Structure formats: structure tokens, C-alpha cells
Amino acid sequence: MNDTASEQIPNRSESEIIDWIAVRVANELSIAPGEVDLNQDLTTFGLDSIAVFTLTGDLAEWLDRDLRATLLWEFPTIQLLAQHLVLGNVQECDLNPRSLVSLQTGGDRFPLFCIDGAMRYRALASHLPSDQPVYGLIPEDATDGQWYSFDKIGARARHYANVIRNMQPHGPYHVAGLSFAGVVAFLVAQELRKDGEEVGLLTFFDTFGPGYYILPVSKRLSLHWRAWRQMDTRERAKYLAERARNRLKIQPRDQAKTLEIAQPEKYSPQLSQEEWEDEWQIDNLARRLLPAEKVYFTRMIALLRRRPKSAYYDGPAIIFVAQDEPMGFMEADTSRGWRDFMPKLQTHSVPGTHTSMIQEPRVANVARLLNEKLQEVQSSPQNSSQNS
């Protein structure tokens, strides 16, 4: 597929492509091309899968270019598709079609791009208003086992920034990440700003930042004790089991180890989207990584800390901190250690644990708060530099 795409880049403008598709759709439906809403999902015209598939085939022929059979499922409106085809000329070969999963389409608000996952953000998407598009970005290639290598994290952030810009050419961009993915989201935001684009809102779901540090043993024990006293028998059993598991698990000490645990046990190109998606990998990894304070803090945080403070993010940001996460080993901080590095960070302490906070039923509240913030950001010019 890449060969043809790179050999011959068709010289069609966005409006030519739009016109061509609109006429085709209009013919199919026996209506006037002007009646075809460019921002409506094509399925709302009653086009079935065969019609969509045929349209893709004809479009590929007209453009004299290979297109994926599923392209119109990924870019379901004429506007999005045309935009992708024009912008995608350069980047198509680099982008894995499955990098971007649409969780909610429709509406003309700027999309929310959620980093490192799709399924895990589905509940969140469903609680946001239907005119707020939401996309999940999933790792480009799980086969090389390098997607959680810290050395590659910068490249990964750049890749995501490309995927996002391919979808939405200009800012403001809304980027969000759960847990560790928040760090990646942070780097994506920086990449987008490097491109001269505006970041609308950066969202963290319980992401630990560079200001966090591990407490001395005595303090940790006392925090464990405090948490312990508040638990009932069942919670205590779970707590103990969790700690024991953390202790017994191989702690990734070096790069090689990290790579190993990041590698899916089985991979075949035939895996379904769900299987293929990073779900178990990220969750497993997070489970191991977060208790494995050493890796997270020494490597990731060191990476962030190496950057001068001024290089941090001064745009609008919001963090949701999981109230019920027994984080006995770390200093209590309502901003999870980001406060000093992000002056416009708004913090919310919400019920739930590290992972349950954006799942049912807790997610409704988080979605409501996030939506308020998104609306606030969208209704006011963000960067003072852009006020003039």
C-alpha cells in the first residue's frame, strides 16, 4: 500500500475531493449535491456498508492511489475524509491506520484526544456531550516491544502529535491521558506547541508528575498504617494481596526488562482490535510500573526534570486525582507533583481509585467537570500572545 501512495501523490485539493465525494453521495441518494452535509456522518444518509465500501473503491481509483477499505469508517464525514486525504499525502505511510480510534464523532467542538488507549476512555466519551468528539490514540506498533521504552517516549509523543495533526490540522488541541499516559500527553502537548500550535486543554487522570517523590520508609509505614485502619477485612485482604504481588513481581530494573514486560505475549496481525489494543498491556504495565517507583521516578521524572522549568507547560490544564488510591509510599499532594510546573493547573480530587475513577459509575462526575473545563477553555482565548 505504501509503495503506490509514496510513488504518486495525487494533486487534488481538499475542495476538489469534497466536491467529488459530495456529487457521488448525492447521486447515490438521488439528491442535489448541495443537500449533502459535509459534516454529517455518512451513515446518517442511510448509506450501508457496501455503499461506503464502493465509494472508497471509486475514490481510490479517481485519486489513483491505494486507500484502506476501512478509511470511511475512520473518517466518517466528507470533510474529515477530504482533510485526511490532503494532509495524509505526506504522512500516510508513517501512520498506522489503527493509531486513531474514534470514540465519539459528530459535533463541531474541538476533539478530545486521549492518549494510549481507546477502551479505557470509552466510558468517559459516553458521558461527554454528543457534540464533543473523542478519539483514542493507540500505540502504533506493538510488535517491536518498544512502545514503552522510555528512550522512545519522545518519538512516540511526536508520532501522536502527527496523528492528531493529521486529524485536526490546527489547534486548539485537547489532549488527555490516564496515569502514565498523562506524561505522554504532556509531551504531546509540548510537541504541538513546538509546531506553533495552541493547546486548548491538557488533562491528567491521576498522573504523577516531576514534583513527586518517595517518602522515607518510616513515613511510608505510617501512611500504610493509616490506610489500613480505615479498611474493612475484605479491603485489607485485597490490600495485602496487592502489596505482596508488587513485592514478588519482577521489578523492571533496566531497559531490557522494561522492554520485556511491554512486549505482548502473543502477537499476530490477525488479532482483533480489542485484543490488539493496548488494554491489558498498559494496565498490567501500570500495575507493575506504579508500584515500581524506582523505574517511574528515576527514569521518567528524571527525563522531565532535565528540562528547564521554563520549558514546562503554562497553558490550561486540569488534573483529576483519585481520592481512594492508597498511595502510601508517596507524599500527599493534590496536584500529584505537577503544581510547580504548570501554573494554570486546576486540580480536582474525585472518588475512585487510580483506574476506577474514569470507569462507571464514577466517570459521570469526572466527565461533567471535564466538560465544564473544556467549555470554559473553548469560549475564551487561551494564550495571551493570541489576544493581540
Partner 1 sequence: MIFPDLPENQAHVWRCDLDRISPSEYSVAADEHARAAKFHFERDKNRFLAGRGVLRQLLANYLNVSAEDLKFVVNSHGKPDLPENLQDNSHALRFNISHSQNHALFAFGFDFDIGVDIEFQREDFDAEKISRLANRFFTPNENRALSTLESLEKREAFFRLWTRKEALLKAVGTGVSGGLSRFEISCLSEETPRVLAPRKESKNWTLFDLEVEAEYSGALAVRAENTTEYSVCQFQFIDEPRA
Q: Which residues bind partner 1 (CB under 8 A)?
A: 29, 37, 40-41, 44-46, 48-50, 53-54, 57, 60-61, 69-70, 73-74, 101, 103, 106, 118-119, 122, 130, 270, 272-274
As measured in angstroms, the least distance from the Cβ of 125 to partner 1 is 10
Q: Which residues contact 20 (CB under 8 A, 6 or more apart)?
A: 12, 59, 62
Nearer to partner 1, 37 or 331 (CB): 37
Residue with cell 491489558: 280
As measured in angstroms, the least distance from the Cβ of 38 to partner 1 is 13
Cell numbers given for 90? 505526506
**Side chain identity, residue 25:** V
Nearer to partner 1, 115 or 161 (CB): 115
Nearer to partner 1, 14 or 37 (CB): 37
As measured in angstroms, the least distance from the Cβ of 37 to partner 1 is 7
Nearer to partner 1, 61 or 235 (CB): 61
As measured in angstroms, the least distance from the Cβ of 230 to partner 1 is 30
Nearer to partner 1, 46 or 308 (CB): 46
As measured in angstroms, the least distance from the Cβ of 131 to partner 1 is 12
**Side chain identity, residue 134:** V
Nearer to partner 1, 50 or 256 (CB): 50
As measured in angstroms, the least distance from the Cβ of 52 to partner 1 is 8
**Side chain identity, residue 106:** G
DSSP 98-142: GGEEEEE--SSSPPEEEES-SGGGHHHHHHS-TTS-EEEE--S-S
CA gap 241, 219 in Å, rounded: 21
As measured in angstroms, the least distance from the Cβ of 166 to partner 1 is 18
Spell out the long-range contacts of 10-18 with Cβ–Cβ below 8 A and sequence spacing 24 or more. Answer: 10/63, 10/64, 10/65, 10/89, 12/63, 12/85, 12/86, 13/86, 14/82, 14/83, 14/85, 14/86, 15/82, 17/63, 17/81, 17/82, 17/85, 17/86, 18/78, 18/79, 18/82
Closest CA to 327 of 229, 187, 190, 215: 215
**8 A C-beta contact, residue 303 and residue 153:** yes
DSSP assignment, residue 172? -
Nearer to partner 1, 74 or 293 (CB): 74
As measured in angstroms, the least distance from the Cβ of 103 to partner 1 is 7
CA dihedral 298, 302, 304, 308 (to 10 degrees): 160
Angle between helical axes of 279-289 and 255-262 (0-180°, round to 10) = 140
As measured in angstroms, the least distance from the Cβ of 122 to partner 1 is 6
Nearer to partner 1, 73 or 297 (CB): 73
Nearer to partner 1, 135 or 208 (CB): 135
**8 A C-beta contact, residue 363 and residue 123:** yes
As measured in angstroms, the least distance from the Cβ of 91 to partner 1 is 21
Q: Chain centroid to CA 177: how far?
A: 6
Nearer to partner 1, 27 or 386 (CB): 27
CA gap 269, 319 in Å, rounded: 36
**Side chain identity, residue 191:** E
